[in-house]
Structure 1
Amino acid sequence: MTIAQIQEEIVEEFSMFEDWMQRYEYMIELGKSLPIIDEKYQTEENLIKGCQSKVWLHAEYTEGKVLFTANSDAILTKGIIAILIRVFSGQTPKDIFEAKMDFIDEIGLKEHLSPTRANGLVSMIKQIKMYSVAFQANK
């Protein structure tokens, strides 16, 4: 699936919920299915700066695709990073870098997060995009 197709799928899933409490619960469920980062990667250098909670993000470049794993010490934040990993893991660095992020506004995520969590979301996206740039440069 392309990034745009995955994003559209997420928008459709979120539209099934009546209110934000249900959407938060859904994000928590998504967080539980997150491909957990190997403990050896839960290091200071894999911590995303700018997040209120601790979020570790690890990326590997394999066969032209970027594979992400992550973890967080906060359950809602784990759901947020799970959504991003679902969108970007297994994609090419070029596709990740060029991806539009409109789906975040379409599901209303940023506006329903506290300012510190919204900043964390931006930091997660920035880190994912930075990995894509690094992997493109090292091809």
Structure 2
Amino acid sequence: MAQAAFEEVVEDFEFLEDWEDRYRMVIDMGKALTPLDDALKVPATKVDGCASQVWLHMTPANGTFHFQGESDAMIVQGLIALLHKLYDGLDMSEVAAVNAREELSRLGLHDHLSAQRSNGLRAMIERIQKEANA
């Protein structure tokens, strides 16, 4: 089961019938994220496998998973926001149990993202899973 914040997104997506409106919502969510500090945009936080520039900075604290991210592409920034709603604030042990592909499929994203965006999203999920398991 996804977090309440992600469930709200699922509900909002069900309300919006037009994919342009859904894309706009994802982009707006990305714009609302706090920008990543430039000092954190380093090779260690860069996500390989994304067509655009993507950085994810994980900050687990007291057994709770937190992360920040940023991209130079608006739609990818929105995808980071979706992942943030899916993962941020979970117990570290819960992160590995999240089936992100299944949760995101509830939004119908796979059918509306390019192959490059889908590959980038997969790379971000893999990085999150890897960092949480470390």
Q: Report TM bin, short chain.
A: over 0.9
Structure 2 residue 63 is matched with structure 1 residue 64? yes
Runs of 5+ in structure 2 lacking a partner?
none
DSSP 3-state at the match of 2:60: strand
* Alignment check: 8 A CA contact 1:31 1:76 kept: yes
- Cα deviation for residue 45 of structure 1 reads 1.4
Distance 1:72 1:60 in 2: 18
Q: Deviations over 1:58-113 (max 9, x none)?
A: 00111111110111000110000111012111111211111122221111112200
Normalising by structure 2, we get a TM-score of 0.93
More strand by share: 1
- 2-side partners of 1:126 and 1:108: how far apart? 20
> Structure 1: which 5+ runs fail to align?
135-139
1:1-139 counterparts in 2 under 5 A? 3-101=2-100, 102-134=102-134
TM-score (norm 1): 0.90
Indicate the RMSD between aligned Cα atoms, in angstroms.
1.3
What is the rounded CA distance, in whole Å, between the counterparts of 2:96 and 2:35 in structure 1? Answer: 23
Q: Which amino acid aligns with 2:21?
A: Q
